Amino acid sequence: MVRRDKSNYIIQSVAHALDVLEEFRDETEELGVTELSKKLKLHKNNVFRILATLQSRNYIEQNRANDNYRLGIKCLELGQTFIHQRGLLKQARPILQELAETSGETSYISILRGNEVVYLDAVETSSTVRVISRVGLHMPLHATAAGKALVSYDSDDELRKLFSSDLQRFTKATRTDVDDFIKEVAVVRERGYAVDLEEFEEGLRCIGAPVRDYTRKVVGAISVSGPAHRLSDERIATVIGPEIDRAGKALSARLGFRE
């Protein structure tokens, strides 16, 4: 039996719809019909109909303030499904389990969305005193160890673009000055792990490390969190910090990262 070239089965309208979706990449947040028409060399009416179809299925949404379009929530859902099935979550699970055992604290894997941390999975500690699970929560990157780890390889200019004003204060320990935050991120990059010393919630401390893949980009963060009385400065510096650093490197290696 002779197999036909799959290019013979391509549906042009579907290909054009995918072309439209793929224009929303890198730092491109919103695009208009005219701009998309010029980029793709398609008639404006065709682009409008494609956008309307994608919008009806929540792959695209419209900004009513300027009539431009941006990616919809369905794209995020598919992306998270891909991560779950193929990459980060699958590889992270055994390392999270080991980290929870060795540290005695709840361990997490998270990703960055905009300037928020999204916690995807966790392995809880067996201790009777534990923190409330963060899985599914969106939290500010500047006040969490995972957040600092996720942006630890961003440039100063990239970090400044994330914040349009002073950083929101959550506790008396929260850093609210962008320049101070940038200096701390530089320390994270050099040390290998980040800390949240009751910066988001009083009585709670977290330690996190970046996870990089074969492209050398940071694709996630691995972290632990627990009560402040169990995570002293000394224990973080001598035990937990180095453990988190090793866990981040181990997971990165599973994803194809090489120094």
For residue range 192-213, list pLDDT tens digits in order.
999 999 999 999 999 999 999 8
0.75 exceeded by the pTM? Answer: no
Please indicate, yes or no, whether residues 94 and 200 belong to a single structural domain of this protein.
yes
- CB-based burial of residue 253 (10 Å sphere; 0-12 exposed, 13-18 middle, 19+ buried)? middle
Expressed as residue numbers, the domain containing 47 is 6-76
Instruction: Please give the mean pLDDT across all residues of the chain.
Output: 87
Rounded to whole angstroms, the Cα distance separating 181 from 210 reads 17
Please indicate, yes or no, whether residues 124 and 185 belong to a single structural domain of this protein.
yes
Q: What is the pLDDT of residue 68?
A: 92
CA dihedral (139, 88, 221, 125) positive or negative: positive
Does residue 81 fall inside a structural domain? no
Rounded to whole angstroms, the Cα distance separating 147 from 252 reads 17
Q: What is the pLDDT of residue 1?
A: 44
Does residue 259 fall inside a structural domain? no
Question: Are 117 and 144 contacting, i.e. CB atoms less than 8 angstroms apart?
Answer: yes
**Domain-terminating residue out of 57, 76, 95:** 76
Please indicate, yes or no, whether residues 150 and 59 belong to a single structural domain of this protein.
no
The answer, yes or no, to whether residue 242 has pLDDT greater than 90, is: yes
The answer, yes or no, to whether residue 225 has pLDDT greater than 70, is: yes
Please indicate, yes or no, whether residues 111 and 153 belong to a single structural domain of this protein.
yes
Q: Name the β-bridge partners of 139.
A: 117
Domain count, the chain: 2
Of the listed ranges 90-99, 161-170, 220-229, 246-255, the least confidently predicted one is 161-170
> Is residue 80 within a helix (H) or strand (E), and if so which, with residue range?
helix 73-86
The answer, yes or no, to whether residue 71 has pLDDT greater than 80, is: yes
Question: Are 208 and 220 contacting, i.e. CB atoms less than 8 angstroms apart?
Answer: no
Helix (H, G, I), strand (E, B) or coil at 95: helix
Each residue of 76-128: pLDDT tens digit? Answer: 888 766 665 557 888 899 999 999 999 889 999 999 988 889 988 888 876 66
Q: Parallel, antiparallel, or unpaired: how do β-strands 204-212 and 69-71 relate?
A: unpaired
Rounded to whole angstroms, the Cα distance separating 156 from 179 reads 9
Please indicate, yes or no, whether residues 62 and 95 belong to a single structural domain of this protein.
no
